[in-house]
Structure 1
Amino acid sequence: MIETVVLDVGETITRDDRYWCAWADWLGVPRHTLSALVGAVVTQGRDNADALRLVRPGIDVAAEYRAREAAGRGEVLDETDLYDDVRPALTELRRLGVRVVIAGNQTSRAGELLRGLALPADLIVTSGDWGAAKPQPEFFERVLEVARARPEATLYVGDHPVNDIFPAKAAGLRAAHIRRGPWGHLWADDPRVVAAADWRIDTLGQLASIVVG
Structure 2
Amino acid sequence: MVVCVAGPIAAGKNFYCSKLQEQGFFCLDADAEIHKIIQEKQNEILSQFEQAASSAGVSLRAADGSLDRRALGRLLFRRPELLERQERIVYPEFEARVQKLIDDQKAVVDQNGGGGSLGLANSNCSQAQKGGLVINAALLYKTPKILRQCQKIIYIDAPLIVRAIRIRRRDKLPLLQIFRRIKSQRGLYEQYKKFAAENGIELVKTTSK
User: Which TM-score tier does this pair reach, normalised by the shorter chain?
Assistant: 0.3 to 0.5
TM-score normalised by length of structure 2: 0.36
TM-score normalised by length of structure 1: 0.36
Looking at secondary structure, tell me which structure has more helix per residue.
2
Q: Which has the larger radius of gyration?
A: 2
Structure with larger RCO (C-alpha < 8 A, sep 6+) = 2
